[in-house]
């Protein structure tokens, strides 16, 4: 049985329940507020759950809180530029995936030491300050002398200085959700290295994230672990809104219970969504190959190379070869794997001498290092 109920839950009666979806189950429960915990630590499954709930559950007379955690991943906001926000080559080396969420806001790093909370309401009841009050009150209830406070910009600061929570929201036609992070015991060295980006090569209109000093709650109080905090937030949610909410664990991979959720998770993993959704930008870079400085100019729209221009000294590589190389890249995705495959096909089909081939290898490696 997928639904596991803890404390004050309704009795599930066998097979009749299996045929209904999560949505009808909520309707039948008749509660005004429900707390969910995700059984998955996969970012795409959890983001799909965030999409599924406002789409399929009636939120006009009911609000929900979802608590979730993920294995290490970098999550960018809907309109952000991953090449600008995070260190993609390092992430590839460390095997940390990238996800793009549907809400706005900035770039964050999640791991098991980070708690995510999503407050689902109707559009009328959307109130971010009240939601954050739930979090700060819960923390203060656990440790009364903890100095945590929410700011105007919907951040939560510890000791007035360290950011422990960031916020983002998504409003639809009739419902809305507000989610925020909470740093309990995140690996801060990985966080700072994957989110650091000193590359000057990107020119765009997107405003980059503003980095802030961060701290873990565990650093100030070793007894504050994620589970304790999640329980405190759950009960404070019920107190604040006057709900009698049961806490239900949900498995977001269960398609039968949540029809359509599998496709939502697939949609979130396509290259077109994660990278291709970046607003247009251009890349101006100089790479050094064999002691030769090469200037690279590319316009990227929808994640694909629109116009690629390279300035290469004629004596290093003949211009027809350069033109063929750049035309190979035109129209392809701004992605190291695709670029490599296209250049390999180019090298197979255009005859060239061995030393030219060597140069093209190194040129390609240089171009790919920028991506």
Cα–Cα distance measured from residue 211 to residue 51, given in angstroms and rounded to the nearest whole number: 27
Smallest gap from residue 331 Cβ to another protein (A) = 5
Among 11, 14, 30, 173, binds another protein (CB under 8 A): 173
Q: Which is nearer to another protein, 199 or 332 (CB)?
A: 332
Regarding 299 and contact with another protein (CB under 8 A), the answer is: no
Regarding 140 and contact with another protein (CB under 8 A), the answer is: no
What's the burial of 160, exposed, middle or buried (CB within 10 Å: 0-12/13-18/19+)? exposed
Q: Which stretch, 156-164, 214-222, 247-255, 348-356, contacts another protein (CB under 8 A)?
A: 348-356
Burial string for 287-314 (b: 16+ CB within 10 Å, else e) reads bebeebebebebebeebbbeebebebee
β-pair type (114-122, 175-183): antiparallel
Q: Which stretch, 98-106, 111-119, 236-244, 308-316, contacts another protein (CB under 8 A)?
A: 98-106
Regarding 276 and contact with another protein (CB under 8 A), the answer is: no
Among 7, 198, 315, 351, binds another protein (CB under 8 A): 351
Among 149, 220, 347, 356, binds another protein (CB under 8 A): 347
Residue count of the chain: 371
Smallest gap from residue 143 Cβ to another protein (A) = 27
Among 4, 29, 37, 104, binds another protein (CB under 8 A): 104
Regarding 20 and contact with another protein (CB under 8 A), the answer is: yes
> Do residues 325 and 360 lie in contact, with contact meaning Cβ atoms separated by under 8 Å?
yes
Q: Count residues contacting another protein (CB under 8 A)? A: 64
Regarding 279 and contact with another protein (CB under 8 A), the answer is: yes
**Own/partner long-range contacts of 335-341 (Cβ < 8 Å, ≥24 apart):** 335/271, 335/275, 335/303, 335/371, 336/368, 336/371, 339/364, 339/367, 339/368, 339/371, 340/364, 340/368
Question: Among residue numbers 240 through 269, which ones bind another protein (CB under 8 A)?
Answer: 259
Question: Among residue numbers 199 through 238, which ones bind another protein (CB under 8 A)?
Answer: 205
> Do residues 209 and 107 lie in contact, with contact meaning Cβ atoms separated by under 8 Å?
yes
Among 336, 366, 370, 371, binds another protein (CB under 8 A): 336
Q: Which stretch, 110-118, 173-181, 183-191, 195-203, contacts another protein (CB under 8 A)?
A: 173-181
The residue assigned the tokens 């639904």 is: 3
> Do residues 225 and 184 lie in contact, with contact meaning Cβ atoms separated by under 8 Å?
yes
Smallest gap from residue 141 Cβ to another protein (A) = 26
Regarding 357 and contact with another protein (CB under 8 A), the answer is: yes
Regarding 34 and contact with another protein (CB under 8 A), the answer is: no
Cα–Cα distance measured from residue 23 to residue 254, given in angstroms and rounded to the nearest whole number: 13
Question: Among residue numbers 59 through 78, which ones bind another protein (CB under 8 A)?
Answer: 60, 77-78
Regarding 318 and contact with another protein (CB under 8 A), the answer is: no
DSSP 263-309: HHHHHHTSHHHHTTTSPPEEEEEEEEETTEEEEEEEEEETTEEEEEE
CA end-to-end span of the chain, whole Å? 45
Smallest gap from residue 137 Cβ to another protein (A) = 20
Regarding 13 and contact with another protein (CB under 8 A), the answer is: no
Among 21, 114, 116, 118, binds another protein (CB under 8 A): 21
Q: Among candidates 49, 31, 29, which has minimal Cα distance to 40?
A: 49
Among 66, 170, 202, 325, binds another protein (CB under 8 A): 170
Q: Which residues bind another protein (CB under 8 A)?
A: 20-21, 23-24, 27, 56, 58, 60, 77-79, 92, 102-106, 122-124, 126-128, 153-154, 167-176, 178, 205, 259, 279, 304, 331-333, 335-338, 340-349, 351, 357, 360-361, 364-365, 368
């Amino acid at each position: 049985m997928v639904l596991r109920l803890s404390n004050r839950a309704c009795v599930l009666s066998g097979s009749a329940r299996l045929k209904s979806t999560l949505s009808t189950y909520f309707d039948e429960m008749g509660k005004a507020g429900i707390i969910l915990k995700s059984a998955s630590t996969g970012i795409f499954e959890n983001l799909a759950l965030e999409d599924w709930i406002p789409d399929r559950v009636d939120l006009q007379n009911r609000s929900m809180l979802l608590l979730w955690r993920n294995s290490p991943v970098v999550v960018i906001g809907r309109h952000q530029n991953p090449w600008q926000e995070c260190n993609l080559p390092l992430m590839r080396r460390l095997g940390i995936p990238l996800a793009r969420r549907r809400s706005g806001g900035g770039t964050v790093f999640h791991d098991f030491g980070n708690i995510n909370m999503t407050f689902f309401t109707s559009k009328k009841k959307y109130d971010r300050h009240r939601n954050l009050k739930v979090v700060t009150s819960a923390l203060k209830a656990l440790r009364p002398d903890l100095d945590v406070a929410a700011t105007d910009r919907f951040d939560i600061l510890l000791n007035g200085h360290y950011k422990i929570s960031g916020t983002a929201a998504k409003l639809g036609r009739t419902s809305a959700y507000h989610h925020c992070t909470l740093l309990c015991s995140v690996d801060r060295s990985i966080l700072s290295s994957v989110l650091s980006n000193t590359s000057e090569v990107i020119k765009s209109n997107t405003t980059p994230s503003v980095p802030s000093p961060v701290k873990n709650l565990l650093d100030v109080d070793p007894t504050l672990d994620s589970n304790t905090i999640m329980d405190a937030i759950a009960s404070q949610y019920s107190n604040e809104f006057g709900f009698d909410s049961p806490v239900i664990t949900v498995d977001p991979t269960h398609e039968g219970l949540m029809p359509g959720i599998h496709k939502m998770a697939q949609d979130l993993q396509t290259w077109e969504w994660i990278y291709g959704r970046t607003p247009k930008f251009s890349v101006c870079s100089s790479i050094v190959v064999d002691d030769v400085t090469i200037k690279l100019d590319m316009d990227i729209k929808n994640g694909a190379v629109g116009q690629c221009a390279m300035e290469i000294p004629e004596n290093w590589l003949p211009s027809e070869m350069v033109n063929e190389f750049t035309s190979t890249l035109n129209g392809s995705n701004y992605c190291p794997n695709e670029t490599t495959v296209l250049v390999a096909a180019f090298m197979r089909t255009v005859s060239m001498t061995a030393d030219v081939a060597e140069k093209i290898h190194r040129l390609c490696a240089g171009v790919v290092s920028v991506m």
